[in-house]
Amino acid sequence: MQVQTPAAAGPVLSLDGIVKTFPGVRALDGVRLELHAGQVTALIGENGAGKSTIVKLLTGIHQPDEGRIMVDGRPVTFPTAQAAGQAGVTAIHQETVLFDEMTVAENIFIGHAPRTRLGLIDRRTMRDRARAILQGIGADLDPDARLRDLGIASKHLVAIARALSIDARVVIMDEPTAALSHKEIAELYELVEKLKRQGKAILFISHKFDEIFRIADRWTVFRDGQFVGEGMMADVTEADLVRMMVGRSVDQIYPKRPAQIGPPVLTVAGYCHPTEFEDITFTLHRGEILGFYGLVGAGRSEVMQALFGITQPSKGACRIAGDVRVIRTTAQAVDAGIVYVPEDRGRQGAVKGLPIFQNVTLPSLSRTSRGGFLRLAEEFKLSRDYTQRLDLRAASLDQDIALLSGGNQQKVVIAKWLATRPRVIILDEPTKGIDIGSKAAVHDFMSELAAEGLAVIMVSSEIPEVLGMSDRVIVMREGRIAAEFTGRDMTPENLVRAAVGIDRPARGEAA
Q: Measured between alpha carbons, how far is residue 301 from residues 76, 99, 340, 429, 458 in Å?
A: 45, 23, 10, 9, 10
Long-range own/partner contacts, residues 481-487 (CB < 8 A, 24 or more apart) = 481/279, 481/280, 481/281, 481/282, 482/294, 484/282
- Nearest partner of 30 among 227, 228, 222, 231, judged by Cα: 227
Q: Which does 45 bind (CB under 5 to 8 A by kind): Mg ion, ligand ATP, none?
A: ligand ATP
Q: Which does 27 bind (CB under 5 to 8 A by kind): Mg ion, ligand ATP, none?
A: ligand ATP
Smallest distance from ligand ATP to CB 352, Å: 12
Strands 338-341 and 226-232: unpaired
Residue count, binding to Mg ion (CB under 5 A): 3
Q: Measured between alpha carbons, how far is residue 468 from residues 241, 282, 332, 389, 473 in Å?
A: 22, 21, 32, 20, 11
Residue type, 182: H
Residue closer to ligand ATP (CB basis): 51 or 285? 51
Q: Is 499 helix (H, G, I), strand (E, B) or coil?
A: helix
Smallest distance from ligand ATP to CB 388, Å: 16
Residue closer to Mg ion (CB basis): 382 or 390? 390
**Residue 111, Cβ neighbours under 10 Å: how many?**
10
Q: Report the Cα–Cα distance between both ends of the chain, in Å, rounded.
A: 57
Residue closer to Mg ion (CB basis): 52 or 438? 52
Smallest distance from ligand ATP to CB 300, Å: 24
Residue closer to Mg ion (CB basis): 89 or 336? 89
The reply to whether 422 sits near Mg ion by the rule CB under 5 A is no
Identify which range of 192-200, 210-218, 397-405, 418-426 contacts Mg ion by CB under 5 A.
397-405
Under a CB-based contact definition with an 8 Å cutoff, are residues 342 and 331 in contact? Answer: no
> Which of the residues 193 through 232 are near Mg ion (CB under 5 A)?
none
> Which of the residues 30 through 69 are near Mg ion (CB under 5 A)?
52
By the criterion CB under 6 A, which residues form the site for ligand ATP? 22, 25, 27, 45, 47-53, 403-408, 435
Residue closer to Mg ion (CB basis): 52 or 107? 52
Q: Which does 297 bind (CB under 5 to 8 A by kind): Mg ion, ligand ATP, none?
A: none
| CA contacts within 13 A on the Cβ side of 468 | 17
Smallest distance from Mg ion to CB 94, Å: 5
Smallest distance from ligand ATP to CB 41, Å: 15
Residue closer to ligand ATP (CB basis): 144 or 210? 210
Under a CB-based contact definition with an 8 Å cutoff, are residues 233 and 219 in contact? Answer: yes
The reply to whether 408 sits near Mg ion by the rule CB under 5 A is no
Smallest distance from Mg ion to CB 203, Å: 12
Q: Is 510 helix (H, G, I), strand (E, B) or coil?
A: coil
Residue closer to ligand ATP (CB basis): 405 or 447? 405
Closest-approach residue to Mg ion (CB): 52
Smallest distance from ligand ATP to CB 47, Å: 3
Smallest distance from Mg ion to CB 229, Å: 20
Rg value, the chain, Cα: 24
Q: Which does 403 bind (CB under 5 to 8 A by kind): Mg ion, ligand ATP, none?
A: ligand ATP
β partners of residue 320:
266, 323
d(CA 465, CA 55): 29
Residue closer to ligand ATP (CB basis): 174 or 465? 174
φ, ψ for residue 55, nearest 5 deg:
-60, -40
Interface residue list for Mg ion (CB under 5 A): 52, 405-406
